[in-house]
Copies of this chain bind each other. A is one copy, B any other.
């Protein structure tokens, strides 16, 4: 190296973009506790508790739940890789970046993908998905994004499961921006595979993807004929995380498991329903006050995702420059649009410890203050 690199000194940030959110202080503290080995009986006991608490938060008791050692995207790909075989038909609801990503990953794994598309900001109506299923009765999977992080739209997941249950298809739901922040009732709604992350509504650091599988999904996996990538193989992961005595698969991210344990504990202590209400109140307040101040919310009114609100960048404003000012001058992170297809938007996440009406007001105040400054030179 030319010269020694200094120790990190990152500035404090209020993280109100699409995630990660700020980490719960108690979860950070948990990561400083003595590290156990991944085969230590004491660590197995911790994993058992994590799995039991995850089942409560997902409301998934009929099949299995486990925390994957990787990103939300790996959770998405793990579902496709295990539930789909080359040549299978997959119906995907696409009205944002993450729906499109599901479709892309399914194609990479050899699926025949039927996209049911809507424009960004709208949800994909369940009737259109059911119609696509009827026209493609061989379909093996229907995939939707419960909370579309790129647009702030919530899919009406509750009503889809029953319609899918009568077909040969399983139902997969992207719960990356909903688990712990928006009502999920995995068993009762008839979802077969769901994946999430730890760095949004749960308030832990990024690094794991909590999964839930129904008995139907487990049957599908046991009956498959083609091999799955080793690191995504749910039969091996199940043996490691759930069916102890454990076999070795990989070294779990011990300290992240500690953090996840702590935020799940907090979630159950707060009450899952109360946590949903808290996220709902914060998001609704931000959206309402944004509209009061003349900003336009991207998502259609009846399908808004509380933890993440996208607002359109007003005409004549440089959205990226506003983000830069918020970050540099106020230590506040909000997101911009994601991908080439996005309209010009800001994305404001109020998740985990930041899911409060106070933070909603703080972010809206900062955003409107910067916008006032931006407008002056234009008007003057």
- Interface positions of A (Cβ within 8 A of B): 1, 4-5, 7-13, 15, 17, 19-20, 22-23, 26, 28, 30-43, 46, 49, 52-53, 56, 69-74, 77, 81, 101, 104-105, 107-109, 197, 199, 205-207, 227-232, 248-256, 258, 261-262, 265, 268-269, 327, 333, 335, 338-339
Contact = CB atoms under 8 A, between A and B. Distances in A.
Nearest to A107: B227
A281 to B, nearest CB: 24
Contact of A206 (B34, B49, B254): B254
Given A5-B52, A72-B250, A77-B230, 19 more contacts: A5-B265, A5-B268, A8-B33, A11-B34, A13-B36, A20-B35, A20-B38, A22-B35, A23-B35, A32-B32, A70-B74, A71-B250, A74-B231, A105-B229, A108-B230, A197-B251, A206-B252, A229-B232, A248-B338
A22 B249 CA distance: 20
B10 A42 contact: yes
A13 B30 contact: no
Contacts of A32: 28, 31-32
A7 B10 CA distance: 28
Which of A26, A72, A256, A268 neighbours the largest number of chain B CB atoms within 10 Å of its CB? A256
Contacts of A70: 69-71, 74, 231
B9 A205 contact: no
Contacts of A41: 327
A249 B73 contact: yes
Contacts of A206: 38, 251-254
What 8 pairs across the A-B complex have the smallest Cβ distances? A207-B253, A71-B250, A108-B227, A206-B251, A12-B34, A74-B231, A205-B255, A73-B250
A72 B70 CA distance: 12
